[in-house]
């Protein structure tokens, strides 16, 4: 392969920094980390300077991409107990019946239920520490050569659920499709001006999934000895790996895993859980099925992309649910993944439109909900039963006396550097355990112990806006997977087939702009689970924007240089979406192992006037179950309101 050197001064993005703060040595809160890394991570404090957050694109989300520097800084101060003293003797401030902390899918699910169940006169305040609602379901927007492009910041893909006639009889995705009228027929752009047929993934996951990957033009890149040398294997599974440089024995072992269907049947889901949650997926493959380590190593990519860490750290029960080879047959060819232009921001916007119709401009139509402007001015209006206040970090929460007899909860949040107090009759913490255990000051011991057992993994979504993608067309691919060597960036990237939404009709043409998304986990197979997440988070948080930008461009030259990639001409902008605690890892035992009762079962109980809701309680984070957690928490709270 031809060598192509790194451009020393790519023409991208630094021209447009939005928010110059940065965390140079940051590493966020930690749970259950191995001692060495845990201490190192705890010792780190954010040091703010320009160059960490980077370019944010255009549009409503440009100042809210991934964790903001402010939210990371506040999280460190919360962890270190700097705000605890703010909750002293009775505080004066606003009064509400309910406060929902967190405006991600769980908080929005709570709001939807509250608006149905509230009694006349009851009021609710929602607080979130980011400038836009949606949590991990937000979007990036670029404008390239006059074309508007969207990409997901995190959550991005879905199957359309089965139809239900009465939403009240359903839970999860199906319930909200029916309740909010989310469309099931979704049109996509067709390919123009390509010299060859190409198959696209509709989201940013399908091309990693056994069975689904076979229907996408996926290239696997195998590095050579020298930088920029390597070999592509396109559609390698359909070719039974014959086009790869892998030796015969490795090919055989990998194919054995890939083609392995369900090897166990279980009487019930509970039986599957109690048996499989006692081991990792790696142990299941290597010890129970005795099929060697090739499959579990390849599975790392999919598992870490879907659940935070690889096969050595993921419960075999989670792998069974996902579904992985050895535990399930390959998915049927009728299954289709989808992704709204901004990924699951589409769902967040449906919920917001449902509870506050004026918050998103236009009608209650698919087009307007997905692409309408956010009316930030109406989110927090006086005398409205539901108010949403953004850029507000909740730092302390406590019942006004012993929780068994309390009739109020006191809460303090920081907004624009100022502490503000709220007195409320109840609180739903629709936030993750890594924050709740520091913020909720009268948390009972068993809850605290349960939260200490959660493990949160970091994740980076880098969206690269391209002026064209001829270099991928030349290779005959729309998705790339590579064996990561030491200096590499990431593991995978792909171009989605864009969904058509009203007037938003982005092109699908190799000569025109598109977004190339790098979904990047930080798993470190072989290390203890706690060490893996601490080390990964340190890397995610301590790398500057410029360094990630350099790594991404270098990786693109390595993959695509020989096919004509030129950073100066081909890249229009890069947005980094850093998620310090992206996923709760469903490690072996998360679901309770042989007992079937895990730490999440403790957290799901209301105590006093506080209830907890977050997708982490489900083990495999997903938007519908996240909203269900919020709904459950509000129903628990309604019992005391």
Q: Which residues bind ligand FAD (CB under 6 A)?
A: 71, 101-107, 127-130, 135-137, 154-158, 205, 344, 393-394, 430-431, 435, 439, 459, 461, 579, 582-583, 614-615, 621-623, 626
Nearest to 219 by CA among 489, 474, 480, 483: 480
Distance CA 514, CA 493 (A): 13
Rg (CA), the chain: 24
Residue 132 or 567: which CB sits closer to ligand FAD?
Answer: 132
Residue 413 or 557: which CB sits closer to ligand FAD?
Answer: 413
Closest contact distance (angstroms) between CB of 227 and ligand FAD is: 29
Phi, psi of 302 (to 5 degrees): -70, -45
Closest contact distance (angstroms) between CB of 186 and ligand FAD is: 15
Could you please report the per-residue DSSP string of 213-272? GGGS-EEEEEE-SSTT-EEEEETTTTTTTTTSS--HHHHHHHHHHHT-------SSHHHH
Residue 298 or 583: which CB sits closer to ligand FAD?
Answer: 583
Residue 183 or 261: which CB sits closer to ligand FAD?
Answer: 183
Residue 274 or 581: which CB sits closer to ligand FAD?
Answer: 581
Closest contact distance (angstroms) between CB of 65 and ligand FAD is: 12
Residue 70 or 141: which CB sits closer to ligand FAD?
Answer: 70
Residue 425 or 438: which CB sits closer to ligand FAD?
Answer: 438
Nearest to 94 by CA among 430, 403, 406, 380: 380
Closest contact distance (angstroms) between CB of 53 and ligand FAD is: 15
Residue 44 or 613: which CB sits closer to ligand FAD?
Answer: 613
Residue 369 or 567: which CB sits closer to ligand FAD?
Answer: 369
Closest contact distance (angstroms) between CB of 19 and ligand FAD is: 16
Closest contact distance (angstroms) between CB of 425 and ligand FAD is: 19
Closest contact distance (angstroms) between CB of 20 and ligand FAD is: 21
Residue 461 or 602: which CB sits closer to ligand FAD?
Answer: 461
Phi, psi of 325 (to 5 degrees): -55, 145
| Cβ atoms within 10 Å, residue 63 | 15
Residue 143 or 415: which CB sits closer to ligand FAD?
Answer: 415
Query: Pairing mode, if any, of strands 386-389 and 409-415?
Result: unpaired
Residue 317 or 623: which CB sits closer to ligand FAD?
Answer: 623
Closest contact distance (angstroms) between CB of 105 and ligand FAD is: 4
Residue 438 or 512: which CB sits closer to ligand FAD?
Answer: 438
Distances (CA, A) of 49 to 20, 21, 403: 7, 5, 42
The strand pairing partners of 479, in sequence order, are: 218, 494
Residue 151 or 561: which CB sits closer to ligand FAD?
Answer: 151
Residue 155 or 575: which CB sits closer to ligand FAD?
Answer: 155
Distance CA 428, CA 104 (A): 12
Distance CA 282, CA 313 (A): 8
| Cβ atoms within 10 Å, residue 146 | 6
Nearest to 113 by CA among 636, 635, 639: 635
Burial class (CB in 10 A: 0-12, 13-18, 19+), 256: middle
Yes or no: say if 205 and 481 are a contact pair by the CB < 8 Å rule: no
Yes or no: say if 140 and 463 are a contact pair by the CB < 8 Å rule: yes
Distance CA 212, CA 546 (A): 35
Closest contact distance (angstroms) between CB of 548 and ligand FAD is: 15
Residue 75 or 178: which CB sits closer to ligand FAD?
Answer: 75
Could you please report the per-residue DSSP string of 401-440? S-TTT-S-EEEEEEETTEEEEEEEEEEEE-S-HHHHHHHB
Closest contact distance (angstroms) between CB of 47 and ligand FAD is: 21
Distances (CA, A) of 392 to 73, 115, 527: 13, 22, 36
Distance CA 344, CA 117 (A): 26
Could you please report the per-residue DSSP string of 110-141? HHHHHHHHPPTT--EEEE-SSSSS-TT--EEE
Closest contact distance (angstroms) between CB of 626 and ligand FAD is: 4
Yes or no: say if 277 and 590 are a contact pair by the CB < 8 Å rule: yes
Nearest to 429 by CA among 446, 419, 417, 442: 442
Distance CA 236, CA 243 (A): 6
Task: Provide the H-helix boundaries in 308-344.
Answer: 316-321
Closest contact distance (angstroms) between CB of 430 and ligand FAD is: 5
Nearest to 372 by CA among 184, 188, 501, 187: 501
- Cα pseudo-dihedral 623, 377, 388, 348, rounded to 10: 0
Closest contact distance (angstroms) between CB of 447 and ligand FAD is: 17
Question: Could you give the count of Cα atoms lying within 13 Å of 597 in the half-sphere of its Cβ?
Answer: 7
């Amino acid at each position: 392969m031809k060598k192509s050197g790194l451009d020393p001064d790519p023409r991208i993005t630094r021209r447009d920094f939005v928010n110059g703060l940065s965390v140079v040595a940051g590493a966020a809160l930690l749970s259950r980390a191995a001692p060495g890394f845990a201490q190192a991570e705890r010792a780190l404090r954010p040091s703010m300077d320009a160059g960490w957050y980077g370019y944010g694109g255009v549009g409503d989300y440009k100042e809210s991409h991934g964790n903001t520097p402010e939210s990371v800084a506040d999280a460190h101060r919360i962890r270190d107990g700097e705000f605890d003293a703010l909750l002293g003797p009775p505080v004066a401030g606003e009064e509400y019946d309910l406060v929902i902390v967190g405006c991600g899918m769980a908080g929005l699910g709570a709001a939807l239920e509250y608006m149905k169940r509230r009694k006349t006169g009851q009021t609710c305040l929602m607080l979130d520490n980011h400038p836009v609602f949606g949590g991990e379901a937000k979007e990036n927007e670029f404008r390239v050569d006059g074309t508007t492009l969207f990409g997901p910041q995190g959550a991005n893909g879905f199957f359309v659920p089965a139809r239900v006639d009465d939403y009240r009889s359903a839970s999860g995705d199906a319930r909200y499709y029916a309740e909010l009228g989310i469309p099931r027929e979704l049109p996509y752009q067709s390919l123009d001006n390509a010299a060859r047929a190409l198959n696209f993934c509709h989201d940013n996951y399908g091309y990693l999934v056994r069975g689904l990957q076979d229907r996408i033009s996926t290239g696997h890149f195998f590095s050579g000895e020298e930088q920029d040398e390597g070999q592509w294997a396109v559609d390698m599974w359909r070719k039974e790996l014959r086009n790869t440089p892998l030796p015969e024995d490795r090919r055989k072992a990998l194919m054995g895993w890939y083609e392995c269907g369900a090897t166990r049947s279980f009487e019930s889901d509970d039986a599957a859980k109690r048996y499989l949650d006692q081991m990792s997926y790696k142990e299941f493959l290597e010890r129970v099925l005795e099929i060697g380590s090739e499959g579990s190593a390849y599975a790392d990519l999919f598992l870490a992309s879907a659940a935070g860490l690889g096969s050595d750290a993921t419960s075999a029960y989670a792998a069974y649910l996902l579904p992985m080879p050895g535990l399930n047959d390959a998915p049927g060819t009728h299954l289709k993944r989808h992704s709204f232009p901004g990924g699951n921001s589409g769902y967040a916007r449906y919920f917001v439109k449902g509870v506050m119709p004026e918050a998103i401009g236009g009608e209650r139509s698919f087009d307007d909900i997905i692409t309408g402007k956010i009316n930030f001015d109406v989110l927090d209006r006086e005398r409205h039963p539901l108010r949403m206040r953004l850029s507000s970090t909740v730092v302390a929460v406590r019942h006004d006396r012993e929780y068994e007899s309390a009739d109020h909860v006191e809460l303090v949040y920081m907004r624009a550097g100022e502490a503000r107090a709220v007195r409320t009759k109840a609180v739903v913490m629709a936030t993750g355990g890594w924050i709740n255990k520091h913020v909720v000051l009268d948390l009972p011991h068993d809850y605290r112990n349960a939260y200490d057992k959660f493990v949160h993994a970091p994740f980076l979504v880098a969206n690269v806006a391209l002026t064209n993608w001829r270099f991928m067309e030349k290779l005959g691919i729309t998705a790339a997977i590579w064996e990561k060597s030491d200096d590499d960036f990431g593991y995978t990237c792909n171009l989605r087939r864009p969904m058509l939404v009203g007037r938003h009709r982005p092109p699908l043409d190799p000569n025109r702009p598109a977004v190339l998304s790098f979904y990047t986990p930080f798993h470190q197979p072989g290390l203890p689970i706690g060490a893996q997440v601490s080390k990964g988070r340190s890397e995610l948080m301590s790398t500057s924007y410029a360094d990630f930008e350099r790594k991404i461009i270098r990786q693109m030259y390595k993959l695509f240089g020989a096919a004509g990639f030129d950073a100066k001409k081909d890249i229009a902008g890069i947005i980094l979406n850093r998620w310090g605690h992206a996923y709760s890892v469903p490690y072996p035992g998360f679901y309770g192992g042989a007992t079937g009762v895990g730490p999440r079962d403790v957290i799901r109980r209301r105590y006093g006037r506080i209830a907890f809701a977050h997708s982490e309680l489900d083990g495999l984070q997903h938007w519908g179950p996240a909203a269900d957690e919020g709904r459950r928490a509000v129903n628990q709270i309604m019992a005391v309101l």
